[in-house]
């Protein structure tokens, strides 16, 4: 309630009180005769009462106005409250609509984003499709203009090979082309030990072709590889230098999707180190132009069949391979044989000897490929049969009991490791140890000798090769090799003759191995050969160093130059009087090759 309202009420109460008081006083005064002098006072009182009544009426009107104002205010407050409530309701409705609108906007935004993502994905797919089409067009153009393979029906034909211009210098002549017969470098007593030789050769130029088909179950391969390191009857270096083509490899192969592979034909022996599993055409060869490779390297290329199975990082393989016997003996009796020269009708070389094999060579190998390198272990089994006449006591007599066949066993184990020690350096180690395994060494030392009774005796031998390969740049390789091969002395005392029979008898004479002799004829092609020189090989050693530089490697193929220096040492077993023989040779090889792409 306002101060003004309180004042009006207070004045109203005062007027009421004054009116009551006036009435009381009037009733309490005795009724007496009115006298004319008192008339003025009564009139004044009534006037005051009248004024008070008028004031009361006025105040009452003001009170009524105030009440009306209060009622109007209440009405307006109620109206305002309703307006507020309506506004709040409208605000809530607006908020709800705003939320709905926001949700709709977010939904629309998500839809826009999804649409934009679909557009981006479509753009990526379009770009990928365009790139694929472009790449396929480029590949198609390259396949048409520069095909890496030729297509014939259901197979692809991939040619390969190289063209070679090579030279070899040897400080001691051995009348050989680019291929070195390590076990025949001359002792000092030979006339050719005092003359050198220098020869050009293009005969190692190679032709190769791979034919592949891909049925659902795997891959079929056929491979041929040949060069001209074969000599015909009329081949010579006088004018046309015509030499014959020879097969290096010629095999067929079935490789199943399961990891099993069968290979049959002429190929590298399973003894040869591989770069991957036991896969054909991944052989690891010493980097040298010498077609006989390097002393200590174990290998053969011969007909056979190979079975291999991949088991994760491991590969297990077995092969059956063509067998031959390399024989050497001194003081042997005439009471055995194991083969003969080739027969023309049988398509063997009439000037070469062939052994009558009782069984193929059997070879097993397990290979392991890891990030640390390639590792191999294996073994081989060999069977040596000859026909003996044990009752024969002289060179011409025939035993009454007739002859009989006898088979001796040989074999050994081998291991290979090829480890990339750093990005630029690779270390390789190879060893082969056993009896009757000399043929698998590149020096082809003897497999067997013979006892006095005519039976074979397998010779213990060893082969080893250490390789160091540096790759300082993609174009340059620097290689170093050190290898050796050894054949053990194997002799028996003949109870009839009293002589030592077998391989490298200590009673053999080497007295003339280091004494030069005069020519043995007048043609000029018959140099002197040492007299009284058994010279049975004990060990062949070789060390070499060289480099290969690739001038160009690209779509047109590869051009490279190679130079290798090699030092060869041939040692004989000590003979009578403690005399041994030694032959050395310094050799330099160069090779310029163009490999087709």
Provide the pLDDT confidence category of residue 233 given band limits of 50, 70 and 90. confident
Condensed to tens digits (0 to 9), the pLDDT of residues 150-182 reads 899 999 999 999 999 999 999 999 999 999 999
What is the spatial distance between Cα 530 and Cα 516, in angstroms, rounded to a whole number? 6
Give the number of other Cβ atoms within 10 Å of residue 310's Cβ: 20
Backbone dihedral angles phi then psi of residue 161, each to the nearest 5 degrees: 140, -175
Closest CA to 45 of 65, 25, 73, 71: 25
Condensed to tens digits (0 to 9), the pLDDT of residues 387-444 reads 999 876 554 444 556 799 999 999 999 999 999 999 999 999 999 999 999 999 999 9
Determine the average pLDDT of the residues in 313-322.
Answer: 98
Which position has the token pair 């390590």? 182
First vs last C-alpha separation in the chain: 114
**Does the pLDDT value for residue 5 go beyond 90?**
no
Q: What is the mean pLDDT of the chain?
A: 89
Residue 166: HSE in the Cβ half-sphere, 13 Å Cα cutoff: 27
* Residue 135: per-residue pLDDT: 81
What is the spatial distance between Cα 574 and Cα 401, in angstroms, rounded to a whole number? 39
DSSP code at position 576? G
Q: Point out the least confidently predicted range of 32-36, 141-145, 193-197, 350-354.
A: 32-36
Retrieve residue 92's tokens.
Answer: 């809530």
* Stronger pLDDT, 401 or 327, i.e. the higher one: 327
Q: Point out the least confidently predicted range of 17-31, 107-121, 490-504.
A: 17-31
Determine the average pLDDT of the residues in 191-195.
Answer: 95
Closest CA to 242 of 231, 227, 256: 231
Retrieve residue 483's tokens.
Answer: 């290898």
Q: Where are the beta strands (DSSP E) in 194-286?
A: 197-201, 206-213, 218-230, 244-256, 260-268
Q: Point out the least confidently predicted range of 203-212, 259-268, 398-407.
A: 398-407
Residue 160 vs residues 206, 282, 397: alpha-carbon distances, Å: 8, 15, 58
CB distance 583 to 185 below 8 Å? yes
* Residue 6: per-residue pLDDT: 52
Q: Point out the least confidently predicted range of 143-147, 154-158, 166-170, 316-320.
A: 143-147
* Residue 17: per-residue pLDDT: 47
**Does the pLDDT value for residue 99 go beyond 80?**
no
Which of 534-566 are b and which e, b meaning 16 or more Cβ less than 10 Å from the residue's Cβ?
bbbbbbbbbbbebebebeeeeeeeebbebbbeb
CB distance 576 to 511 below 8 Å? yes
Helix residue spans in 146-157 (DSSP H): none
Apex CA 293: angle with CA 476 and CA 536, to 5°? 145
Three-state DSSP class for 510? coil
327 class by beta-carbon count within 10 Å (0-12 exposed, 13-18 middle, 19+ buried): buried
What is the spatial distance between Cα 159 and Cα 537, in angstroms, rounded to a whole number? 42
Determine the average pLDDT of the residues in 445-449.
Answer: 98
Residue 67 vs residues 5, 237, 262: alpha-carbon distances, Å: 10, 147, 120
* Domains of the chain: residue spans and CATH: 146-595 (2.40.160.10)
- Contact residues for 507 (Cβ-Cβ < 8 A; gap 6+): 499, 500, 575, 576
> What sign results for the dihedral spanned by CA atoms 449, 451, 454, 456?
negative
Q: Which three-class secondary structure string do you get for 160-204?
A: EEEEEEEEEEECCCCCCCCCCCHHHCCCCCCHHHHCCEEEEECCC
**Does the pLDDT value for residue 386 go beyond 70?**
yes
What is the spatial distance between Cα 98 and Cα 104, in angstroms, rounded to a whole number? 9
> What sign results for the dihedral spanned by CA atoms 102, 103, 108, 114?
positive
Provide the pLDDT confidence category of residue 101 given band limits of 50, 70 and 90. low
> What sign results for the dihedral spanned by CA atoms 146, 147, 152, 154?
negative
Residue 344 vs residues 80, 341, 348, 350, 352: alpha-carbon distances, Å: 132, 10, 6, 6, 11
* Stronger pLDDT, 33 or 376, i.e. the higher one: 376
* Stronger pLDDT, 35 or 448, i.e. the higher one: 448
Q: Rg of the chain over CA atoms, in angstroms?
A: 58
Provide the pLDDT confidence category of residue 143 given band limits of 50, 70 and 90. low
What is the spatial distance between Cα 490 and Cα 509, in angstroms, rounded to a whole number? 16
Three-state DSSP class for 435? strand
* Residue 453: per-residue pLDDT: 93
CB distance 506 to 494 below 8 Å? no
Backbone dihedral angles phi then psi of residue 489, each to the nearest 5 degrees: -65, 130
Backbone dihedral angles phi then psi of residue 419, each to the nearest 5 degrees: -120, 120
Distance of CA 304 to the CA centre of its chain: 27
**Does the pLDDT value for residue 574 go beyond 70?**
yes
**Does the pLDDT value for residue 97 go beyond 80?**
no
């Amino acid at each position: 309630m306002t101060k003004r309202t309180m004042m009006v009420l207070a004045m109203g109460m005062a007027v009421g009180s004054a009116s009551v008081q006036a009435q009381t006083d009037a009733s309490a005064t005795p009724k007496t005769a009115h006298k004319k002098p008192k008339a003025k006072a009564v009139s004044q009182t009534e006037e005051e009462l009248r004024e008070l009544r008028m004031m009361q009426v006025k105040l009452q009107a003001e009170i009524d106005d105030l009440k009306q104002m209060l009622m109007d205010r209440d009405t307006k407050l109620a109206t305002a409250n309703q307006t507020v409530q309506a506004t709040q309701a409208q605000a809530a409705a607006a908020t709800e609509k705003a939320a709905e609108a926001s949700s709709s906007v977010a939904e629309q935004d998500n839809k826009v984003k999804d649409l934009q993502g679909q557009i981006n994905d479509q753009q990526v797919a379009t770009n990928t499709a365009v790139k694929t089409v472009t790449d396929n067009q480029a590949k198609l153009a390259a396949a048409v203009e520069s095909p890496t393979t030729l297509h014939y029906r259901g197979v692809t034909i991939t040619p390969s090979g190289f063209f070679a211009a090579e030279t070899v210098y040897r400080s001691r002549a051995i009348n050989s082309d680019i291929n070195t017969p390590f076990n025949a470098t001359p002792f000092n007593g030979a006339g050719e030990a005092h003359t050198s030789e220098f020869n050009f050769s293009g005969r190692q130029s190679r032709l190769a072709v791979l034919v592949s088909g891909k049925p659902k179950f795997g891959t079929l391969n056929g491979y041929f590889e040949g060069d001209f390191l074969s000599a015909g009857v009329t081949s010579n270096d006088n004018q046309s230098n015509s030499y014959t083509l020879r097969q290096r490899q010629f095999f067929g192969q079935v490789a199943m999707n399961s990891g099993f592979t069968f290979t049959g034909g002429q190929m590298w022996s399973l003894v040869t180190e591989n770069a991957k599993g036991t896969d054909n055409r991944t052989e690891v060869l010493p980097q040298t132009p010498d077609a006989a490779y390097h002393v200590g390297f174990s290998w053969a290329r011969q007909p056979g069949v190979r079975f291999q199975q991949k088991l994760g990082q491991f590969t297990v393989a077995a092969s059956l391979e063509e067998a031959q016997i390399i024989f050497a003996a001194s003081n042997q009796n005439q009471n055995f044989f194991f083969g003969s020269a080739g027969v023309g009708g049988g398509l063997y070389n009439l000037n070469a000897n062939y052994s009558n094999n009782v069984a193929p060579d059997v070879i097993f190998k397990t290979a392991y490929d890891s990030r640390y390198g390639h590792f191999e272990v294996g073994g081989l089994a060999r069977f040596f049969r000859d026909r003996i006449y044990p009752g024969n006591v002289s060179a011409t007599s025939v035993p009454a009991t007739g002859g009989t066949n006898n088979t001796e066993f040989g074999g050994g184990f081998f291991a290979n490791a090829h480890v990339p020690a750093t990005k630029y350096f690779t270390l390789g180690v190879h060893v082969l140890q056993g009896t009757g395994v000399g043929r698998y060494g590149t020096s082809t030392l003897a497999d067997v000798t013979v006892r006095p009774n005519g039976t074979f005796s397998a010779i213990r031998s060893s082969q080893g090769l250490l390789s160091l390969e540096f790759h300082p740049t993609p174009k340059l390789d620097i290689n170093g090799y050190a290898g050796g091969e050894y054949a053990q002395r194997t002799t028996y005392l003949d109870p009839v003759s009293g002589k030592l029979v077998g391989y490298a008898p200590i009673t053999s004479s080497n007295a003339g191995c280091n004494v030069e002799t005069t020519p043995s004829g007048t043609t000029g092609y018959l140099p002197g050969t040492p007299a009284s020189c058994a010279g049975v090989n004990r060990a062949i050693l070789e060390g070499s160093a060289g480099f290969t530089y690739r001038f160009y490697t690209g779509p047109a193929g590869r051009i490279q130059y190679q130079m290798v220096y090699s030092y060869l040492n041939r040692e004989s077993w000590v003979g009578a009087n403690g005399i041994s023989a030694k032959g050395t040779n310094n050799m330099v090889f160069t090779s310029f090759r163009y490999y087709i792409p």
